[in-house]
Structure 1
Amino acid sequence: MRNISLPKLGILATASLFFGASAHAADDHDRRQLDRVVNEAIGPVMEKNNVPGLAVAVTVQGKRYFFNYGIASKESGEKVTEDTIFEIGSISKTFTATLASYAEARGTLSLSDNASKYLPALAGSSFDRIRLLDLGTYTAGGLPLQFPGDVTDREEMVAYYKSWRPAYAAGTYRLYSNPSIGLFGYLAARSMGKPFDDLMEQEIFPRFGLTRTYIRVPPDQMGNYAYGYSKDDKPIRVTPGVLDSEAYGVKTTAADMIRFVEANISGSKLDETLQRAIAATHTGYYKVGHMTQGLGWEMYAYPTDLDRLLAGNSSRVILKANAVSRLAPPLLPQEAVLINKTGSTNGFGAYVAFVPAKSIGIVILANKNYPIPARVKAAHQILTALDSPSGLTSGR
């Protein structure tokens, strides 16, 4: 463990290095180089956006580096570590997509099936003509970002879906939507005959070796669960909602999340069914500008520039309906891509990005919902340095 002083912030960042099962020390030059790169990217972001605590995890060809900044709770003064539990918001959708792909790999569903097949209550509704794939790629026809405020339980949820009418033909427009991918995950769990939360916590998380990742944080882990901070700097955590688990309900640590990233970079140590599920989430189905929509994940040809990443993660893409170009046949998983996802709750902000061809990836978790462009820029700055001629990936 090493302490890195950030005078402008008046806080300490602790950087630690893990080699998986290996106990060998990292090369000192690599550590100093990465220390400098991460601090130069993260320090100004925390200062400008008044972020109380932030955890960064970086993987470089199987080596894990952790950088921990600030505090998990202003009330307790508990410092952030790689085992601090953060809300990851919509990055949860990548886990939901993995569950659905896993269900397909096990033969309990097909993405080409109509959604109503898995919920008979929707028979005769618009979902007779909307595929599971449409739900998983936000192309069902205009489902909104959030449920209306009067949808508060399962009965009202079903009634909402039964009465909903698409504004666009399925597969023609992408509108980012919690009710869309939420239903996707809900139906995937139904196809497997178990509740979504149980499947995640008892099957999916353990299969990835994630030991501190939860939908429901257990009582003995609440002390490690950070408080998020609202715009007016009040402590806050996510509140329950319809299909919240499926759309934005995962809580995890930097240590677990970088392990998940590594499994997405190379799942060779996982069982064959899970490998197929991961590959399916990296399959490209539609394009919006330079962004390719997979299941949960969003992808860009690599190398890519910052402007393209910012455009793909912009409010125009997140909040507006965008005409899509369908990829027929779907684009099989590529190595020369940057794969990313952002996520937020009212008190937390997160970002994940990785490049399979370079075996590099980054996780940034914060207990403040600070602007998405700041997350993307910081991650891009670090990944660019890693892949520079003098970076950690050079000569390896």
Structure 2
Amino acid sequence: MKIIVSVVILLISNQLAFGQSREKKIDSICQAIQNKNPEVAISIGFIENSKEYFFNYGKISQESDFKVDENTVYEIGSITKLLTANLIVQAQDERKLKIVDFIDNYLPKEYMLSEKIKGKLKISDLASHQSGLPDFDFGQLIELNPKQPLDISKEAIHSILNDSTKLSDYGNYRYSNISYVLMGIILESIYSKSFDELVKEKILVPSKMKNTLTTDFNVKNKVVGHDINGVEQDYFVWNSLFAPAGLLKSNTSDMSKLLKTLLSNKGKIGKATSVTEKTFYKNTQMEIGFGQEIERNGNDTFFYKAGDTFSCSSIFAYDRKSNWGIVIMINHKNSDLIRELINTIYEQALR
């Protein structure tokens, strides 16, 4: 499997996994990996045929005596985009928009596209990272605010939209945060509600996700995050503009509930998922849905979305045919470790 490419799969003895149930295999694999990385807290939620299993290793901080559990909060970063995309499709189901519509028709007047790119960008281009719009300059944002670079302003968005006179490589994949910021602006405009209100009303409450946090994440049971060098790092503060691109905080209990909702095909969220799972972009290396990525392995197809912040890394994946789902969260920005975990679990326990 190549959920994220260029990964060397950790080889665990086949004798260790032989004859074990999937959940016991996952525990054995993760325990071995955590033993190699004792400073990292790892929380995993696994769903198989609607039954939930949770695996937790490590403490909420290196100084704490409290161990992480399924209720421990982490930053989930760009997994937020999966929820934003689902909200957009729900809006289509409610006939408030069509995902093939041009975005010009839905942006508030204060956000202006130049004449040269009006009538060219569809909502589906945003969701599948094909817009060709320039993204935020994170180097510049970090210089301006090293601790909280995502505390962006309307002026930052205005400058990108107003100054863009061409779309670079339109129709090709280029990962884009500005696209999901614009999707959030569109949602707020058509519903006359904040993204915070919408995600709670249309996803968190129906899925009974009581501990997925938005504006207020001042809770005791949350991990202390660490940057790529292992230095303690603050969580990103809630910024209403950037939020749809990656500012939710959650735990494996809540995200497992979301997995069950997606796999059930029930309700408005489940109905919207049938659209988010369609292919909107494909080349020889990747296949992109509406807010998530698609992986095919023989006759098997599964969907996933990874998330990285300055303090945490995570991944959310599910396989409809085999009826399993998994979410992995760690308290370090370490996408390599997330790759090692998900690929080893898949190869050793889920195939």
Asked if these proteins are the same fold (TM beyond 0.5), I'd say: yes
Give the CA deviation at 1:38: 1.9
Cα distance between partner residues in 2 of 1:98 and 1:30: 39
Cα distance between partner residues in 1 of 2:29 and 2:181: 34
49-58 vs 35-44, which moves further:
35-44
Cα distance between partner residues in 2 of 1:35 and 1:387: 10
Equivalence map 1:1-396=2 (5 Å)? 33-34=21-22, 36-49=24-37, 51-119=39-107, 120-125=109-114, 126-144=117-135, 146=137, 149=141, 152-168=152-168, 170-171=170-171, 173-219=172-218, 222-230=219-227, 231-241=229-239, 243-268=241-266, 271=267, 273-303=268-298, 336-372=300-336, 374-388=337-351
Cα distance between partner residues in 1 of 2:260 and 2:19: 20
Cα distance between partner residues in 2 of 1:216 and 1:242: 9
Q: Is the alpha carbon distance of 1:179 and 1:40 closer, same or farther for their aligned partners in structure 2, counting shifts above 3 Å? A: same
Give the CA deviation at 1:292: 1.4
The aligned amino acid for 2:242 is D
3-state SS of 1:152 partner: coil
Cα distance between partner residues in 1 of 2:235 and 2:118: 33
Please give the per-residue CA displacement for 1:231-265, whole angstroms capped at 9, x wherever unaligned. 24224212455732111111111011111112222
Cα distance between partner residues in 1 of 2:321 and 2:66: 37
* Greater relative contact order, per chain length (Cα 8 Å cut-off, separation 6+): 2
Cα distance between partner residues in 2 of 1:202 and 1:254: 20
Give the CA deviation at 1:104: 1.0
Contact 1:82 1:254 in 2 (8 A): yes
The aligned amino acid for 1:292 is E
How many residues were matched structurally?
A: 322
Indicate the residue corresponding to 2:7 in structure 1: none
Cα distance between partner residues in 2 of 1:94 and 1:51: 29
The aligned amino acid for 2:122 is R
Give the CA deviation at 1:167: 4.1
Give the CA deviation at 1:39: 3.5
Give the CA deviation at 1:49: 4.6
Contact 1:157 1:242 in 2 (8 A): no
Gaps of 5+ in 2: 1-16, 145-150
Cα distance between partner residues in 1 of 2:284 and 2:183: 24
The aligned amino acid for 1:165 is T
The aligned amino acid for 1:255 is S
Please give the per-residue CA displacement for 1:192-239, whole angstroms capped at 9, x wherever unaligned. 2211111112332111221111222354xx112222112242242124
Give the CA deviation at 1:359: 0.2
- After TM superposition, the score normalised by the length of structure 1 is 0.74
Cα distance between partner residues in 2 of 1:347 and 1:337: 30
Please give the per-residue CA displacement for 1:281-326, whole angstroms capped at 9, x wherever unaligned. 111111032421111110012348xxxxxxxxxxxxxxxxxxxxxx
Contact 1:101 1:280 in 2 (8 A): yes
Cα distance between partner residues in 2 of 1:203 and 1:131: 23
The aligned amino acid for 2:164 is W
3-state SS of 1:64 partner: strand
Gaps of 5+ in 1: 1-28, 305-335, 389-396
Contact 1:360 1:383 in 2 (8 A): no
Q: Is the alpha carbon distance of 1:387 and 1:36 closer, same or farther for their aligned partners in structure 2, counting shifts above 3 Å? A: closer
- After TM superposition, the score normalised by the length of structure 2 is 0.83
Cα distance between partner residues in 2 of 1:30 and 1:214: 39
3-state SS of 1:80 partner: coil
The aligned amino acid for 1:143 is P
Please give the per-residue CA displacement for 1:102-154, whole angstroms capped at 9, x wherever unaligned. 11111111112221211223445235421111111111114326565278311
Cα distance between partner residues in 2 of 1:145 and 1:159: 10
Cα distance between partner residues in 2 of 1:133 and 1:116: 13
Contact 2:39 2:62 in 1 (8 A): no
Identity %: 23
Q: Is the alpha carbon distance of 1:144 and 1:45 closer, same or farther for their aligned partners in structure 2, counting shifts above 3 Å? A: farther
Contact 2:26 2:349 in 1 (8 A): no
Contact 2:132 2:168 in 1 (8 A): yes
Please give the per-residue CA displacement for 1:44-75, whole angstroms capped at 9, x wherever unaligned. 44344554311011111111110011111234
Cα distance between partner residues in 2 of 1:296 and 1:47: 34
Give the CA deviation at 1:344: 0.7
RMSD: 2.6
The aligned amino acid for 2:273 is I
Indicate the residue corresponding to 1:13 in structure 2: none
198-207 vs 241-250, which moves further:
241-250
Give the CA deviation at 1:32: 5.8
The aligned amino acid for 2:221 is N
